[in-house]
Amino acid sequence: MSNIGDAAKNNVTVPHVVKEEIIAAGKWARLEKTTYVDPSGKTRTWETVKRTTRRSHTATDGVQILAILSRAHHKDFVVLVKQFRPPMGCYTLEFPAGLIDGSESAETAALRELKEETGYRGEVVRVSPVMCLDPGLSNCTTQFVMVSINGDDPDNLRPTQELDDGEFIDVILLPLDGFQIKIDELLQKEDMVVDAKVYIYSVGLQAFTKPSEIPAVRQ
């Protein structure tokens, strides 16, 4: 049964947005006052952050790339990036990611961003539904794109980044086996914060795998 049907049956107001007013706007983001009606029928306001870059052809702002690097006779590695994030005021450990450009699909954007940020070329394996990132603050959305990287491909033997002006990104390879342990060890050695999406993925892996001793690799 739909939410509207449930609300009518239980005599509850269907929550909805009434209007959105811009408080401040920049090049990449804007702050809005969102007026909405809650389930009790009361009108309330909320401060909402939105990106200014979302394309009209898509419901997602960007992509997160879960890239697994595989080589013959070697263990698999997860490709991560380390970069300084001004809002955090420190370095972060993240999946490669980026905004969708022009009329790109999520798949095309993911392969482009992977090449630009890490130098690797890969093949899309699967794409997630559109997902919210921080719904209590923003309407920002993303799609996870799972990518397989053939480490034995000549293009991937000496990967070369194609960074934009102002981008300073280190590529870090952590073994899929014992992924969470390697993240914890890295955080103890270096002053940085891990992205929640990365750590949640590691927790899921840890629940179903038994780690072995494989070192982290920095390119």
List per-residue pLDDT tens for the chain, 219 residues long: 456 555 556 678 999 999 999 999 999 999 999 999 999 999 999 999 999 999 988 999 999 999 999 999 899 999 999 999 999 999 999 999 999 999 999 999 999 999 999 999 999 999 999 999 999 999 999 999 999 999 999 999 999 999 999 999 999 999 999 999 999 999 999 999 999 999 999 999 887 666 555 555 666
**Beta-bridge partners for 195:** none
Between CA 61 and CA 141 the distance in angstroms is 5
Between CA 31 and CA 25 the distance in angstroms is 6
Contacts 24+ apart (CB under 8 A), 25-28: 25/52, 26/52, 27/52, 28/52, 28/53
Which residues, including other chains, have CB under 8 Å from residue 106's CB and lie 6 or more apart?
58, 60, 63, 100, 127, 143, 145
pTM of the predicted model as reported, rounded to 2 decimal places: 0.87
